[in-house]
Amino acid sequence: MFELLAALNDEETRRLSPAAALSADGRRRRAEERIGYRQHFAQDADRILHSRAYTRYIDKTQVFCLISNDHITHRVLHVQLVSRIARTIGRFLRLNEDLIEAIALGHDIGHPPFGHAGEHVLSSLCSVHDLPPFQHNIQSVRALERLERKGRGWNLTLQTLDGILCHDGEVHAARLAPEPLGDFAGFDAKLTAKSADPAINLLPMTLEACVVRLADTVAYIGRDIEDAIILGLIRRDDIPAGPRQLLGETNGSIVYSLVTDLIGHSRVTPPDCPLTAGTDYIGFSQPVAEALDELKRFNYEKIYLSQQTRQHIPMIERCYRDLFSFYLRHLEDGTSDRLHVDLMGDLEDSYTRYQPPAARVRDFIAGMTDDYFLAQAAAIGCPVPPRL
């Protein structure tokens, strides 16, 4: 087994770009008691797949919530699409597909119920209770490092955690180049800075993470258009003429156009060629980057901020506020054991002793599925929106 591991690691050095992240260089925060025979990043992907947080992806909103239509994208499908698209790009650029998969599968673990709308109201509640603004990428790291496995976490590699922290696909970028990071001390400083100032644009430490960050946009931009067409929010001929002409008007053509352009216009040193530091990047051509930016603006105006998409948001926001206040009150007065929910009380003492009650409530609510959130809100008497 271990001889095969060494052979696989040697094979990576021959097959992959010298700019790729090698599995043998994976670094974990803690030494592990059991010596594994799987490569580091493949093991990370397995651990994320087996996490409870990954299981809860199945009922987490991507864009459209409370829709009784099995063909509308949920968060679990989105992360799988990101993984497949990013791995395709990584294969053609000779990057590490295992690291790409691990980052892609874990990048949205921290999303709270009802997507970005839930993130916005939870962030405001955190600020009111002297916590840093809620950010789903930071919550993803927290879940995988500190909440999973009753507080022990999964001990993922630095490269995977950094990619998850820096994945922000909402920030438009025509080109991304990695920013080297030496160790977990540097990662912790990076996380602390982002927590204090959400506006900071973090750059990943690997080209693989750069691929995932751009693939995140590739995966959702056309898929959200297809979902919006199914729901009658837009028509296909509403898509702006420029992006439609350059990228296509279906999700399949949009994904193909973006992936093809990204592979053709990225600069990654080929195998067996000398590496020049600071010259490799992942990026689109300028015309395609501009078309993608226009398509993003179209999606925001016509889909994400549309009245139909946001019709239930006021009720959901009220449920967030009521649940947060309810749980916090019961934690502070010591009656939380009557609620028949754990409120993060099953974690190791190192978590429960040092986390203020508001942080425990934040973590508990952030981990909920949409349906569980609504059931809990209804149980305390909060009006909940109907499923359409």
pLDDT tens, the chain, 388 aa long? 677 888 888 899 999 999 999 999 999 999 888 777 889 999 999 999 999 999 998 888 888 888 888 888 889 999 999 999 999 999 999 999 999 999 999 999 999 999 989 999 999 999 999 999 999 999 999 999 999 999 999 999 999 999 999 987 566 788 999 999 999 999 999 999 999 999 999 999 999 999 999 999 999 999 999 999 999 999 999 999 999 999 999 999 999 999 999 999 999 999 999 999 889 999 999 999 999 999 999 999 999 999 888 899 999 999 999 999 999 998 888 776 666 677 777 788 878 788 899 999 999 999 999 999 999 999 999 999 987 7
161 neighbors 212 (Cβ within 8 angstroms): no
Structural domains in the chain plus CATH codes: 2-22+39-304 (1.10.3210.10), 323-379 (no CATH)
- Residue 235's pLDDT is what? 97
How many C-beta neighbours within 10 Å does residue 151 have? Answer: 16
- Residue 317's pLDDT is what? 96
- Residue 5's pLDDT is what? 83
**Distances 57 to 49, 121, 217, 347, 369 between C-alpha atoms, Å:** 10, 20, 18, 21, 7
Three-state secondary structure of the chain: CHHHHHHHHHHHHHHCCCCCCCHHHCCECCCCCCCCCCCHHHHHHHHHHCCHHHHHHHHCECCCCCCCCCCCCEHHHHHHHHHHHHHHHHHHCCCCHHHHHHHHHHCCCCCCCCHHHHHHHHHHHHHHCCCCCCCHHHHHHHHHHHHCHHHCCCCCEHHHHHHHHCCCCCCCCCEECCCCCCCHHHHHHHHHHHHHCCCCCCCCCCHHHHHHHHHHHHHHHHHHHHHHHHCCCCCHHHCCHHHHHHHCCCHHHHHHHHHHHHHHHCECCCCCCCCCCCCCEEECCHHHHHHHHHHHHHHHHHHHCCCCCCCCHHHHHHHHHHHHHHHHHHHHCCCHHHCCCCCCCCCCHHHHCCCCHHHHHHHHHHCCCHHHHHHHHHHCCCCCCCCC
Neighbouring-strand partners of residue 267: 281
- Residue 35's pLDDT is what? 76
224: tokens are: 């959200």
